Every structure is written in C-alpha cells, then in structure tokens.
Amino acid sequence: MNQVDYLRISILDRCNFRCQYCMPEGEKLKYILGEELLTTTEIVTLLKQIFIPLGFSKFRLTGGEPLLHPGVVNLVREIASLPETEDLSLSTNGFLLADLARDLYDAGLRRINISLDSLNPQTFDKIIGNRGRSLWQQTWQGIEAAYEVGFDPLKLNVVVIPGINDREILDLAALSIDRNWHVRFIEFMPIGNMNLFQDRAWISSEELRQQIKGKWGLVESKIKGNGPADVFKIPSAKGTIGFISQMSECFCDRCNRLRLSADGWLRPCLLNQDNQIDLKTPLRQGLNREQLQEKVKGLLAIKPEINFKQRESGTSGSSYHRTMSQIGG
C-alpha cells in the first residue's frame, strides 16, 4: 500500500451537466443544503490542523462541478498558499472554464482535469443529458482557454461508453499528438444509469491500448501522475495517453487517497460508505485537533483492507446509495 498523502475534496454536489454515467436519468436528486456544506474556512482548517500534520500534501478539488461554487477561486488561493501544499489540482466539466481559467491560474492552480467524452457535439449532448442548445462549443472553448493560460499538465478525461463514444477512441487519442494534452481513458464504473449500455457495461483498457497501438504504436511514458493511470504516449507526440482500469485491473493496492465529501464525510474509497467518518459535526462542535486526528488515523489504519472489487460484487455487506456527483468522482 502506498503512503496515503492525497485528498480529494468535493466542494459541492451540484452540477450543470447531467451525465448519464454520473446521475441516473429521471431520478430527482436531493442536493446538500448550503449550511450543510463545508465552508472554505472549514476546509482549510481541516487541511492545516488534521490532514497536513498526518502527511497529506496533494489535494484535488472536485464536485459536482466545482466551478459552480462561488468561492472556488478563493479556496484555490487559500490552499495554494499553504507551504505544505506540494500539488493542487481541480476536476471540471470545462463549461465555465473560459471565464475562470485566468483567475484560477493567478490564484495558484497549475493542474486541471477536464471531462471530454466526445468530439461530436450531438454525442456530447446525449452523454451529458442536454436537450437544448448544444453545450459542446463552450466546453471546448474552456479547454482552449486553460491551454492558452498555461495549465500544465492539462488532462482530458474520457469515460468510454460502449455504443456511444467508443468509435471516437482514435480521434480523442490524437489530441495528444500536436499539443501537450494528456488524454485519460477511464473504464466505466457501475454507478448511475446502467440502462445506458447496449451489449456490455464497459470496455477494457487493454482493448483500447491495442486499438491505439495498431494505429500509431505506443511506448511507455516517463511522465507519471499522482493517480492510478498507466501512462503511455504515441511516438513523437507532445502529450500522453493514460488508462484508468478500475474494472479490469484493480489498483487498490496502489491507492494513495482519501475522499472528503462536500458535507464533511471522509471515506477511504470511492464506493465505501461502511467506514466513513463525519468530520464536519465534531469540527463545528469544537472537538480538538488531537481527537479529530485520531478519527482520521483510524480510517487510515483500515484502508489497506478495503477493496473496490468487494464493493462491486457486493461482498462487503451493503449497497451504495450516492451517485458519482454526490461522492466527488
């Protein structure tokens, strides 16, 4: 088990997209009320008093869609200014990024992950659940704005959906050739609308690797990230291609992260709610630093025993009730 030094922080559960693999179609979601969300001050307090003293130095802001949060730029500035912060990144769908890219960069953010599941506007709108004016162009403008501002690495996350966007694998991989863009192909996880798929639920990373290798060839990349991606590159390409294979190649033994939800629950795994602990309530009730640290230490102690495949097969004893948007992706 790697040292756990990476915290994913969901700052709200709302999103301006309704991606079918993230939010079940037709289901009315109950969003977290404003007063139940951790405040910027509370998030920074937890980092300074609890997580950083326990060895955490890498942080990622997620949602929902974090750019909907009115205080996201200030939160970036606060975390980036902490001397112990070695790495700060943010995940976004990119729709609001054109207007915020410069402010986020000036606040200290340097790394950004943007969801881009299709280069075809019609397919893109179908995936995100949009039935009105196409949202693809504004999303693409956000990606270009982030690139022009200087975000490096700029990562594009692609959830591969059988029968929907799997024919675009080569077109999406080609984005890494002429620009220093890092394309990440992600195997679908069984959360959300399972009726989205036709013949099978997910496509393995190995199948995608062979498809790209057959077109251009693939070599291992020396560039490695903080996450679980196996990273390659097309020969002579400026960027890289990564594969996140949580379904076909379980990487639990390499996991170095905990997840803090927008309402203050800390979890050791994306799909684990059996071992979650509430940090918001004791923080607001004045529990001291040492007591909160002991709670987090207890969670860290059991993390090596938690396995995603157990959750997928239901062997851990309970089902999961939150959508991807509610747990921070």
CA angle 188/193/198 to nearest 5° reads 70
CB 61 within 8 A of CB 91: yes
What pLDDT does residue 79 have? 98
Question: Quick check: is 205 in a domain?
Answer: yes
- Which of 21-30, 218-227, 306-315 has maximum average pLDDT? 218-227
In whole angstroms, give the CA distance from residue 267 to residue 301. Answer: 12
Q: How many domains is the chain partitioned into structurally?
A: 1
Each residue's pLDDT tens digit, 53-100 = 999 999 999 999 999 999 999 999 999 999 999 999 999 999 999 999
Percent of the chain with pLDDT over 90: 69
Side-chain half-sphere CA neighbours of 327 within 13 A? 21
Question: Quick check: is 39 in a domain?
Answer: yes
Question: Quick check: is 314 in a domain?
Answer: yes
> What is the CATH number for 13?
3.20.20.70
Question: Quick check: is 209 in a domain?
Answer: yes
Q: Is 80 exposed, middle or buried (0-12, 13-18, 19+ CB in 10 A)?
A: middle
Question: Quick check: is 254 in a domain?
Answer: yes
Question: Quick check: is 1 in a domain?
Answer: no
Residue 212 main-chain phi, psi, to 5 deg:
-70, -40
Domain that holds residue 23: 6-327
CB 269 within 8 A of CB 228: no
